[in-house]
Amino acid sequence: FEMVLKDMNKNVNHVISDLAGIFFINSGKYLRDKENFLMFFAIVSVVATLRVLYLKI
């Protein structure tokens, strides 16, 4: 059962990393606008918090 959880955690991290990569590439075009930068910063903060919470489990 623990192995399954570890595998799931790895998969979640891969998915998050992939999404983050895609997001960074797409958002790079929009970061020149301050409003978009604030949104981007908020999303990155949430993702970072979620990753920390995942690592603690």
Task: Pull the structure tokens for residue 36.
Answer: 């978009």
- pTM exceeding 0.95: no
Q: What is the percent of the chain where pLDDT is above 90?
A: 0
**Given this model, what pLDDT does residue 24 score?**
74
Give the chain's domain count. Answer: 1
List the domain range (segments joined by +) for residue 34.
2-56
More confident residue, 36 or 6: 6
Q: What is the mean pLDDT of residues 30-42?
A: 70
Q: Which among 7, 16, 24 is positioned nearest to 49, based on CA atoms?
A: 16
Given CA atoms 43, 49, 52, 56 in this order, what sign does their dihedral have?
A: negative
How distant, in Å, are the alpha carbons of 1, 3, 8, 32, 34 from that of 16? 23, 20, 12, 24, 25
